């Protein structure tokens, strides 16, 4: 496998090239792929309109690069080792040739069910091989895939289907998660009551759950796949045609459908995958992320397949049947490169170290984390107990919007530095700005992270909503892409991400909007209004506290709190459940009606006197009441424990 970056000199050379001549730099990378027709123009862009186009005029199909081009050289190589939830169930190994055939067959199924280029297809599935096959089958025929994480509720699923107007949904009857069986199809049936666009549902039978099938709408994967051909010509796609839509939370209640296109995404994900993970052709690579998130899309599906690497795909959870499952899987499949989340590491750290020590972990060469800041103690535990002090750790910073990793330590380039994402990847030109938009030059600066030049993997728009695209990313700091993250560049020029600076919160690595959760809470008939804030949590990174103003506080408050938590789970999904609910009489608001979250944050932290400037509060007395209510709540909880 080719790595451009294997020393500090390489990194500097690549980085310089990418800044001085970005078009030449990326054209050289793009030349390595199979194109039906090469591009006319590498890049046209402006961040004002905004418009970004890479490789315009180029024609290709990403699946020819993920599958067809490997067949001759490594058709019999394993693409995926699928490890089921239950360790006693047999794992499945799928070669590149088998994957190619499955994708072609399922692409034929999609065609038989009326799917054409440009149609949207939604997937709501557990981590089973059919999910990868579905995504690639869509890409094969030019349909746009929209994967929805199978932990979302039926309402959340329905909203996403309505936004894309998907014609077809692929799902499973049920899912295994640890000791639980999830009734996936029941959630789907509920969602589809509100989704007229869906004409067909294709169901994979994963569990022994009996389900009802709606005649005319629902069909079984295995029946559909029984009588189709083994080959399917790839549809020629324009470089800038949409490859997929993936939803992420935003600062309004409605999630944003992030749009990625075929060529730029492919070139960027491939470049970052190769240079960050340094997989050789013999290596086994494992990204433990769910495919319902961008990490799964880029570094469990497209990245490794473009490189022709062998990946582990895991259906289960890290604590089933016990807290040693990840380590057992690493030994079982001789995993060399392991990429996971800080939340998983923090959760596993709380168990007896024997769960780690009874495994060898000698195959490991490189470790990675993604999705949220990693605290120093988790980094050190990972380095010592999992990496045995010999594996380099890549703490990769990126976003659904960036398509691929944008800032990361690099093997043989960076020195180990816990908590630092370190170096911008070639092609990424970070700029730190202060609150007024002034560029902070030089080292030892801290502010908000922007990127000043386009890179091929960046989002192209928000599905159906170009205005929101402009507003969210290109308006606060004109001329820049704004990430929404705080960032520090230290005295050595190394980057550290300090967390979100907007109304979004990372909980267990999942990005959630405070407005989205507040909307869910406010829809409870006993609630007047609410404000959601994040606070530090030892395992999840952040937890949610909801301050809720009910119509009447006197009526069974504990019951109401439970109902509120249930309401959020029902409308969004269990990942968004508040950890604490505090019933209060009034929210601290400015005269213009904005909630002063800063005050709530301080109150939750136990502050009683120092609240800074509160002159804009509509009712300054509210603080006193909130402090009293917080103390009461604290005493109540302590008495309960």
* Backbone φ, ψ for residue 108 (5° rounding): -65, -35
One residue of 14, 315, 485, 518 binding ligand WTA per CB under 6 A: 485
Q: Give 287 or 571: the residue with its C-beta nearer to ligand WTA.
A: 287
One residue of 50, 151, 373, 578 binding ligand WTA per CB under 6 A: 373
CB of 488 to ligand WTA, least distance (A): 11
Strand 120-124 relative to strand 168-172, pairing: parallel
Q: Which stretch binds ligand WTA (CB under 6 A): 130-138, 429-437, 477-485, 518-526?
A: 477-485
Say whether residue 494 binds ligand WTA (CB under 6 A). no
- The C-alpha angle with vertex 279 and arms to 509 and 97, in degrees rounded to 5, equals 100
Q: Which two structure tokens, joined as six digits, stand for 52?
A: 């970004």
| Rounded-to-integer distance, Cα 42 and Cα 269, Å | 17
CB of 486 to ligand WTA, least distance (A): 9
User: Do 358 and 385 meet the contact criterion of CB atoms below 8 Å apart?
Assistant: no
| Rounded-to-integer distance, Cα 455 and Cα 404, Å | 10
Q: Give 60 or 337: the residue with its C-beta nearer to ligand WTA.
A: 337
- The C-alpha angle with vertex 468 and arms to 45 and 511, in degrees rounded to 5, equals 105
Strand 510-513 relative to strand 504-507, pairing: antiparallel
Q: Which two structure tokens, joined as six digits, stand for 189?
A: 């049936």
CB of 249 to ligand WTA, least distance (A): 8
One residue of 268, 314, 398, 482 binding ligand WTA per CB under 6 A: 398
| Rounded-to-integer distance, Cα 58 and Cα 38, Å | 5
What is the 3-state composition of the chain as percent helix, strand, coil, each rounded to the nearest 5?
35, 25, 40
CB of 510 to ligand WTA, least distance (A): 7
Which H or E element spans position 251?
Answer: none
| Rounded-to-integer distance, Cα 247 and Cα 253, Å | 12
CB of 107 to ligand WTA, least distance (A): 28
| Rounded-to-integer distance, Cα 123 and Cα 297, Å | 13
CB of 268 to ligand WTA, least distance (A): 13
Q: Give 393 or 599: the residue with its C-beta nearer to ligand WTA.
A: 393
CB of 419 to ligand WTA, least distance (A): 8
One residue of 5, 131, 211, 497 binding ligand WTA per CB under 6 A: 497
Q: Give 373 or 426: the residue with its C-beta nearer to ligand WTA.
A: 373
One residue of 127, 157, 175, 294 binding ligand WTA per CB under 6 A: 294
3-state SS assignment for residue 587: coil
CB of 343 to ligand WTA, least distance (A): 12
Which H or E element spans position 121?
Answer: strand 120-124
One residue of 166, 396, 461, 567 binding ligand WTA per CB under 6 A: 396
CB of 422 to ligand WTA, least distance (A): 10
Which residue from 99, 150, 464 is spatially nearest to 293, judged by alpha carbons? 150
Say whether residue 420 binds ligand WTA (CB under 6 A). no
One residue of 243, 348, 421, 626 binding ligand WTA per CB under 6 A: 421
CB of 159 to ligand WTA, least distance (A): 18
CA distances from 618 to 125, 279, 546, 604 (A): 48, 58, 21, 20
User: Do 587 and 547 meet the contact criterion of CB atoms below 8 Å apart?
Assistant: yes
Q: Which two structure tokens, joined as six digits, stand for 198?
A: 């869906």
Q: Give 315 or 372: the residue with its C-beta nearer to ligand WTA.
A: 372
The residues in 3-42 that bind ligand WTA, with binding defined as CB under 6 A, are none
| Rounded-to-integer distance, Cα 226 and Cα 203, Å | 14
Q: Give 473 or 611: the residue with its C-beta nearer to ligand WTA.
A: 473
One residue of 95, 248, 288, 414 binding ligand WTA per CB under 6 A: 248
Q: Which two structure tokens, joined as six digits, stand for 513?
A: 């909007």
One residue of 95, 164, 171, 400 binding ligand WTA per CB under 6 A: 400
Q: Give 154 or 402: the residue with its C-beta nearer to ligand WTA.
A: 402
| Rounded-to-integer distance, Cα 322 and Cα 351, Å | 10
CB of 369 to ligand WTA, least distance (A): 6
Say whether residue 173 binds ligand WTA (CB under 6 A). no
CB of 489 to ligand WTA, least distance (A): 14
Say whether residue 372 binds ligand WTA (CB under 6 A). yes
CB of 52 to ligand WTA, least distance (A): 18
| Rounded-to-integer distance, Cα 194 and Cα 126, Å | 22
CB of 287 to ligand WTA, least distance (A): 11
Q: Give 107 or 287: the residue with its C-beta nearer to ligand WTA.
A: 287
Say whether residue 623 binds ligand WTA (CB under 6 A). no
CB of 34 to ligand WTA, least distance (A): 28
Calculate the CA dihedral of residues 88, 346, 516, 269 and round it to 10 degrees.
-70
Say whether residue 397 binds ligand WTA (CB under 6 A). yes
- The C-alpha angle with vertex 548 and arms to 160 and 528, in degrees rounded to 5, equals 80
One residue of 64, 290, 395, 494 binding ligand WTA per CB under 6 A: 395
User: Do 427 and 456 meet the contact criterion of CB atoms below 8 Å apart?
Assistant: yes
What DSSP assignment string belongs to 18-33? HHH-HHHHHHHHHTTS
Name the residue whose CB lies closest to ligand WTA.
Answer: 400
Task: Report CA torsion sign: 362, 368, 371, 374.
Answer: positive
Number of residues that bind ligand WTA (CB under 6 A): 22
The CB-side HSE value for 48 (13 A sphere, CA atoms) comes to 0
One residue of 126, 264, 371, 430 binding ligand WTA per CB under 6 A: 371
Q: Give 318 or 484: the residue with its C-beta nearer to ligand WTA.
A: 484
Q: Which stretch binds ligand WTA (CB under 6 A): 157-165, 431-439, 481-489, 623-631?
A: 481-489
Say whether residue 484 binds ligand WTA (CB under 6 A). yes
CB of 41 to ligand WTA, least distance (A): 29
The CB-side HSE value for 573 (13 A sphere, CA atoms) comes to 22
| Rounded-to-integer distance, Cα 179 and Cα 491, Å | 49
* Backbone φ, ψ for residue 218 (5° rounding): -95, 135
The residues in 500-539 that bind ligand WTA, with binding defined as CB under 6 A, are 500, 506, 511
Q: Which stretch binds ligand WTA (CB under 6 A): 5-13, 201-209, 293-301, 598-606?
A: 293-301
Question: Binding residues for ligand WTA, per CB under 6 A?
Answer: 248, 293-295, 370-373, 395-400, 421, 483-485, 497, 500, 506, 511
């Amino acid at each position: 496998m080719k790595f451009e970056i294997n020393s500090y000199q390489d990194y500097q050379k690549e980085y310089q090239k990418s800044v001085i001549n970005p078009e030449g730099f990326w054209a050289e990378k793009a030349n390595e792929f199979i194109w039906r027709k090469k591009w006319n123009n590498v890049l046209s862009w402006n961040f004002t309109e905004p418009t970004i186009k890479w490789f315009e005029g180029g024609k290709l199909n990403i699946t020819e690069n993920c599958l067809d081009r490997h067949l001759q050289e490594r058709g019999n190589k394993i693409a995926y080792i699928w490890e089921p939830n239950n360790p006693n169930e047999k794992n499945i190994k799928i070669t590149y040739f088998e994957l190619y055939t499955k994708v072609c067959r399922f692409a034929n199924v999609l065609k038989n069910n009326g799917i054409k280029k440009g149609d949207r297809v939604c997937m709501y599935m557990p981590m089973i091989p059919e999910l990868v096959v579905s995504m690639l089958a869509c890409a094969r025929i030019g349909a746009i895939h929209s994967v929805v994480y199978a932990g979302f509720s039926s309402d959340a699923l329905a909203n996403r289907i309505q936004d894309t107007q998907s014609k077809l949904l692929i799902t499973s009857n049920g899912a295994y998660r640890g000791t639980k069986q999830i009734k996936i199809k029941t959630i789907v049936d509920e969602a589809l009551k509100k989704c007229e666009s869906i004409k067909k549902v294709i169901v994979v039978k994963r569990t022994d759950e009996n389900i009802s099938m709606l005649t005319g709408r629902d069909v079984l994967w295995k029946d559909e796949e029984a009588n189709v051909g083994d080959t399917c010509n790839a549809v020629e796609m324009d470089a800038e045609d949409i490859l997929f839509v993936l939803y992420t939370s935003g600062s309004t209640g409605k999630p944003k459908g992030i749009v990625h296109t075929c060529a730029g995404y492919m070139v960027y994900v491939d470049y970052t995958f190769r240079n960050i993970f340094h997989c050789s052709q013999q290596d086994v690579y494992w990204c433990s992320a769910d495919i319902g998130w961008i990490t799964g899309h880029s570094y469990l599906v497209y990245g490794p397949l473009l490189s022709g690497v062998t990946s582990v795909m895991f259906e289960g959870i890290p604590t089933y049947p016990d807290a040693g499952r990840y380590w057992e899987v690493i030994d079982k499949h001789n995993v060399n490169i392991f990429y996971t989340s800080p939340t998983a590491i923090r959760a596993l750290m709380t168990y007896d170290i024997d769960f780690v020590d009874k495994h060898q972990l000698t195959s490991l060469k490189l470790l990675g984390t993604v999705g949220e800041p990693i605290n120093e103690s988790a980094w050190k535990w990972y380095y010592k107990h999992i990496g045995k002090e010999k594996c380099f750790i890549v703490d990769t910073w990126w976003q659904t919007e960036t398509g691929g990793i944008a800032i990361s330590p690099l093997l043989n380039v960076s020195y180990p530095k816990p908590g630092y994402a370190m170096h911008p990847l070639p092609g990424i030109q970070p700029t730190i700005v202060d609150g007024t938009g002034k560029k902070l030059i030089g080292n030892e600066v801290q502010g908000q992270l922007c990127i000043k030049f386009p890179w091929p993997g960046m989002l192209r728009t928000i599905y159906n909503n170009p205005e929101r695209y402009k507003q969210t990313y290109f308006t606060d700091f004109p001329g820049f892409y704004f990430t929404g993250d705080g960032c520090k560049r230290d005295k050595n020029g190394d980057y550290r991400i300090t967390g979100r600076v907007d109304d979004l919160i990372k909980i267990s690595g999942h990005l959630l909007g405070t407005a989205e959760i507040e909307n869910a809470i406010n829809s409870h008939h006993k609630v007047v209004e609410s404000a959601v804030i994040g606070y530090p949590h030892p395992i999840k990174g952040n937890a949610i506290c909801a301050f809720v103003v009910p119509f009447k506080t006197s009526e069974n408050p504990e019951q109401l709190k439970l109902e509120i938590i249930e309401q959020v789970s029902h409308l969004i999904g269990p990942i968004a459940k508040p950890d604490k609910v505090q019933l209060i009489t009034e929210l601290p608001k400015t005269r213009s009606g904005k909630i002063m979250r800063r005050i709530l944050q301080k109150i939750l932290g136990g502050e009683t006197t120092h609240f800074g400037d509160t002159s804009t509060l509509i009712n300054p007395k509210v603080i006193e009441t909130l402090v009293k209510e917080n103390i009461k709540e604290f005493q109540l909880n302590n008495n309960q424990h």
